[in-house]
A = this chain, B = another copy of it.
């Protein structure tokens, strides 16, 4: 009945579509489904959607609302500090596992931390500091049970390559250190706010393929950077791109240099790689690979101490400050000329660190069958980096290699991180003096040995196989990091990924649909060659979820051309094209440009005597078509729930026309 009312209103408003009332009577049988399309409830408005998104962002946990305030606070605490949840059930057996895992982690973490501090152009103790405070904080706030927190290679490279452009660490190490802490502080603030405001999707802006390429490129850049330590070169380039580094190495090698550094580094690198190889062959020997770096440090230090090779040109670490992390709260410069720059660097570090940590956390969580909450994880990382920046740490995150060792060593909970932190703290108190004679080349070989895990050629191949555009983002990021800089690599990766999405939105395909014989199923005739055309009716499917300013004109022109070409073809065959069905089931939203395009399309088709029918428009689409009075112009009876109904109505109209003739 509503339909008839509607059609009356239509007649009053338009006064020109004489064929409308006839078709209402004709297709009276389809009334139930047809009126469905036009009589849907109003879709949620922009305001509803914004407020519901805001509610989602504000509510801390999805607990039931009926609980008392005390229970609310407890559940909020439980949600903020997951340790409270499992601490009560924690038993001695788990602790024994965690203790072993923590000690193994520390034996790998201590030499790696010193090496990464070197990569970040900081004194060795700052790497150790970064392995004390952040793991402790993460242990009480983090939701992953496996992740091992501390400094990592890529973030260390990012920090040094970006901050040295502002202040040269060899000229003014104190100013450089201040900027590092400031950037770390900003990184923590950004990470925490991503978590609080549920901006987790920002991490998704780096696609998996881009990360693979970026990590591979960064690993190779880091490897080249290690040539400085491995060859014992004093003057080295500040650029990170491969070309500059090779040039610098060639220049340095032409000057007198000390091959002892190289020999020492290479022999221990080979030792570490052999232990790794053995560990991979026999899973029970994993501890050998984990301990090898520490063993190398101890052995090489002893060798230098005994032979006094440092007097013959072997570069050594020399003085390392001992003791607990000093406060660095006063060194953070939130005002001043470099604050903006530090915020920018902090943002980049925050995103890269989160990307790595969440990728690590997710992959181990999925193998162990538990979920980690991205937003909570970001909050924990943020707090840990803010606390770190106040206690002489630089940006910490979850490390790929150490997390794998942690899991292999049988960690059960984040207690292993606490054990590691305490062990590193003890080492800071007691053993820093022993690091005096540790050769720099050993640090280089430890970093080098951790790199192969970052270059994932197998994954790159499978990306190439599945998706060529993804591979383009991957190789773009890789080459950008290698020959440009870390930022350029990231920029290329993000740009390629975005361009792809924009192109996808700008130039959607339209497909001709055909009926699969004997069924009421309509599908693309190119995809399913068995589908056949319906004579006299052209069915066009718009493959875009948003008919908007970017693609509306393009789609309108494509559809018009297709219909006119089809009309020419059918007229040559002696028949004629009488209706065009636009299948809009993919179109979920539309804007004013899209409405205008549909309106123009309808006008054009009317002018060449082709009836336009629309099938299954999305909720927002039908709502906006009603608001813009486009439904009245096209005619409410020519909007259908399914392509099948539309085709039925069109062929019905056609037969009637034929009879009429």
Interface residue from B207, B467, B506 paired with A201 (Cβ < 8 Å): B506
Q: Roughly how many angstroms separate A291 CA and B497 CA in the complex, as a whole number?
A: 55
User: Counting CB contacts under 8 A, is A642 at the interface?
Assistant: yes
How many copies the complex holds: the figure is 2
Give the residue name and chain of the B residue nearest to A203 (CB). B553
Given B208, B504, B628, which contacts A596 in the complex, CB threshold below 8 Å? B208
Q: Report the minimum CB–CB distance from A612 to chain B (whole Å).
A: 16
Asked if A592 meets B466 with Cβ closer than 8 Å, knowing A36-B528, A521-B641, A642-B521, the reply is yes
> With A586-B545, A593-B208 in contact, do A624 and B505 touch (Cβ < 8 Å)?
no
Question: Would A545 and B543 count as touching, CB distance under 8 A?
Answer: yes
Q: Contacts A549-B206, A553-B204, A586-B586 hold; do A505 and B501 have CB atoms under 8 A apart? A: yes
Interface contact B588-A204, CB-CB below 8 Å: no
Interface residue ranges of A32-49 to B (CB < 8 Å):
33, 36, 40-41, 43, 45-47
Knowing A505-B505, A627-B466, A628-B466 touch, does A619 contact B524 (C-beta < 8 A)?
yes
Residue from the list B469, B527, B545 in contact with A40, Cβ < 8 A: B527
With a CB–CB cut-off of 8 A, which chain B residues contact A45?
468
Contact of A600 among B40, B206, B366 (CB under 8 A): B366
User: CB < 8 Å: which of B465, B501, B516, B544 contacts A550?
Assistant: B501
On whether the beta carbons of A204 and B628 are closer than 8 Å, the reply is: no
Which single member of B467, B545, B553 contacts A545 (CB below 8 Å)?
A: B545
* Chain B residues, Cβ within 8 Å of A524: 619
Q: Please state if B586 and A585 are interface contacts (CB–CB under 8 Å).
A: yes
| A: interface residue count bin | 35 or more
Does A463 interact with chain B (Cβ within 8 Å)? yes
Q: Is A603 an interface residue (CB 8 A)?
A: yes
Chain A 585-624 per-residue mask, 1 if CB under 8 angstroms from chain B, else 0:
1101111110110001001000100000000101100001
20 A-B residue pairings within 8 Å (CB atoms): A33-B521, A46-B468, A207-B549, A208-B592, A209-B591, A366-B600, A369-B607, A374-B553, A462-B592, A497-B549, A501-B502, A501-B546, A504-B589, A508-B588, A520-B520, A521-B642, A523-B641, A545-B545, A586-B586, A586-B588
